[in-house]
Amino acid sequence: MLLPTPAESQTVAYKALRTADGKPNLNGVWQAMNTANWDLQPHSAAAGMLWQAGAAGSEPAGMGVVEGGEIPYLPAALAKKKANFANRLALDPETKCYLPGVPRATYMPFPFQIVQSAKVIMIHYEYDGAVRLINIDGKKLSPVDSWMGWSNGRWEGETLVVDVTGLNADSWFDRAGDFHSNKLHVIERYTPRSADTISYEATIEDPETFSRPWKISMPLYRHVEKDARLLEFKCVPFTEELLYGNLRKKAANDKANDKK
């Protein structure tokens, strides 16, 4: 009599608060708390791109977010990934303040805000002021490839499913040199798991780079501190010297020193 029935012993799935149109409410400021931006795969702590900075420039260890632990590169693509890693300071788009792409924007060490309506969902990222619009009111085709791609969404019960296409080939997945081609196709899934956490999954498809589709997953955490909001991080001023310093016109005294 005291034994629970199968139905009673099952875990009850979390059901999120609803918006006015009856959909799960994802509004809020969210952030991933992991080291995926350094490396999606499991990795030890190591010296970073700027080893001269000592511990301040080092990279934290991480358990990885790739299901199965390893990204299934094709042989030629794996060789390119290794070359990217060896030259990551010069090649990583993040160092140049380019937009991060999808899914990288989700797990950079910056928060992002979801603003939800019935026909469109906006995701505003603190990093470089990046913005995505997810079309809910009917599927729309990408007019052109871009850094953040083209997002069409639909609801499957408690889960927001986002189909992302139209991504250019220039973004990376992380600082470890993991990359893709312009054939990249990403399917994201946002599922509320409690009042202040979302389960995030992204399935990656790119037949020119990977031998099969693969998936990453991680929790996202709501910022619950008082007056939680996005702050400004316009990184362009931090990259101007790196990108254009060699084009600066030399001052008169610099020219005189060159003649000595």
More confident residue, 131 or 246: 131
What number is the average pLDDT over the span 155-170? 96
Residue 6 counted as domain residue = no
The pLDDT assigned to 113 comes to: 98
Residue 97 counted as domain residue = yes
Residue 252 counted as domain residue = no
Residue 17 counted as domain residue = yes
What is the chain's mean pLDDT, rounded?
91
What number is the average pLDDT over the span 87-111? 95
What number is the average pLDDT over the span 211-236? 96
Given a cut of 50, is residue 77 above it in pLDDT? yes
Residue 57 counted as domain residue = no
- Residues 189-223 have pLDDT tens digits of 999 999 999 999 999 999 999 999 999 999 999 99
Domains held by the chain: number: 1
Residue 178's domain comprises 11-39+64-247
Residue 217: give its domain's CATH number.
2.40.128.20
- Residues 29-64 have pLDDT tens digits of 999 999 999 999 999 999 888 777 788 888 999 999
Residue 257 counted as domain residue = no
Residue 141 counted as domain residue = yes
3 state SS for the chain:
CCCCCHHHHCCCCCCCCECCCCCECCCEEEEECCCCCCCCCCECCECCCCHHHHHHHCECCECCCECCCCCCECHHHHHHHHHHHHCHHHHCHHHHCCCCCCCHHHHCCCCEEEEECCCEEEEEECECCCEEEEECCCCCCCCCCECCCEEEEEEECCEEEEEEECECCCCCCCCCCCCCCCCCEEEEEEEEEECCEEEEEEEEECCCCECCCEEEEEEEEECCCCCCCCCCECCHHHHHHHHHHHHCCCCHHHHHHHHC
Confidence of residue 260 (pLDDT cuts 50, 70, 90): low
Residue 49 counted as domain residue = no
